[in-house]
Amino acid sequence: MAYETILLETRGHVGVVQLNRPKALNALNAQVIAELTEALNTYDANPQIAAVVITGSDKAFAAGADIKEMAEKDYIDASVGNFIAPWQAIARARKPVIAAVAGYALGGGCELAMMCDIILCADNAKFGQPEINLGTIPGAGGTQRLARVVGKSKAMEMVLTGRMLDAAEAERSNLVARVVPLENLVDEAVKLGQVIGDKSKPVVGMAKQAVNVAYETTLETGLQVERQLFYATFATEDRREGMAAFGEKRSPEFQDR
Ligand code: DAK
């Protein structure tokens, strides 16, 4: 597929997707979401790819869903048109997805970052859910994922006032894993993807699945899922290799089996 709104690059075993609508600060219109979904599906199916980085420009990761595209929609367009479906596909990527956020991550941009598994941000990043200023509310996780990550009080403040968090506050609030200098952002995200890429792919998949369950169910159910996935690692050759390598004081050589 030829892409018009994203740029793709492969660095080692890491796929890098750059959102590329600079004149609109990477506003997420239907075409961007469709192309991003397609790219993630392609990377998911590629055995050479271990992790994916999603990034934007220095000024904007994404300034939100495209307001101009949404402006004329009515209730029926939004609900019956199933506007949410393509967005949900992004959160279902099976491989680890790292958001490398510089500049604005607002509205749907902040929600897109939160759909990723890990968020790294540059020191100029700004996160916010300003939908209240447009007379609407977040619709792709900005009330749910945000509240689980930063807690009710800060999520309420952000969602009810539209106030943005800078990088330092985002890190303090556990919204991001780490803040890095802007000039190193994508390199750091790729490096992180490569560190993950050196592990066993099937076991990484199980670990991702287990952590995600923590956000979707009760502690009791989550612990059961974790235990089953832990047992499942014992069905892999890589688990055997990992423990043997430890005993033999050498690095493991995982075969992704
Ligand atoms: N949509 C469309 N165009 C946008 C945009 C956006 N979200 N953000 C910026 N742009 C465009 C501007 O219109 C402008 O275009 P021209 O006028 O030059 O044609 C260009 O990008 C540059 O923007 P500015 O001139 O405004 O640049 P500044 O540096 O002065 O300001 C800013 C940067 C980020 C503070 C400002 O652009 C801004 O406030 N942007 C809007 C931020 C926002 O309100 N975001 C939330 C949008 S609502 C859902 C999925 C997702 C969503 C909901 C449901 N489902 C699947 C159910 C999400 C909703 C949203 O994200």
Asked if the model's pLDDT at residue 87 lies above 90, the reply is no
Write out the H or E segment, with its range, that includes residue 225: helix 219-233
Asked if the model's pLDDT at residue 82 lies above 80, the reply is no
pLDDT tens-digit map of 132-161: 999 999 999 999 999 999 999 999 999 999
In this prediction, residue 51 has a pLDDT band, given cuts at 50, 70 and 90, of: very high
Report which of residues 251 and 215 the model is more confident about. 251
Exactly one of 27, 100, 111, 155 is catalytic; name it: 111
Asked if the model's pLDDT at residue 10 lies above 90, the reply is yes
Catalytic residue status for 171: no
Write out the H or E segment, with its range, that includes residue 1: none
Catalytic residue status for 60: no
Q: What is the DSSP letter of 21?
A: -
Asked if the model's pLDDT at residue 83 lies above 80, the reply is no
Which residue's CA lies nearest to atom 11 of ligand 1? 24
Q: Best substitution site from 32, 67, 112 to test ligand 1's pocket, by max atoms within 8 Å of Cβ?
A: 67
CA 219–ligand 1 middle distance (angstroms): 38
Q: Name residues contacting ligand 1 (CB within 6 A).
A: 24-25, 27, 63-68, 83-84, 87, 104, 106-108, 111, 130-131, 134, 139-140
The pLDDT score that the predictor gives to residue 135 is 97
Alpha helices per DSSP H over 93-218: 108-115, 144-150, 152-161, 167-172, 185-197, 201-213
Asked if the model's pLDDT at residue 90 lies above 90, the reply is no
Asked if the model's pLDDT at residue 96 lies above 90, the reply is yes
Q: Is the pTM of this model over 0.95?
A: yes
Least confident of 4-13, 59-68, 85-94, 220-229: 85-94
Comparing CA positions, the residue from 114, 177, 104, 170 lying closest to residue 141 is 114
Q: Degrees (nearest 5) of the Cα angle 34, 36, 39?
A: 110
Q: Which atom of ligand 1 is least distant from the CA of 84?
A: 56
In this prediction, residue 88 has a pLDDT band, given cuts at 50, 70 and 90, of: confident
CA 22–ligand 1 middle distance (angstroms): 11
Q: Best substitution site from 5, 23, 25, 101 to test ligand 1's pocket, by max atoms within 8 Å of Cβ?
A: 25
Q: Which atom of ligand 1 is least distant from the CA of 60?
A: 34
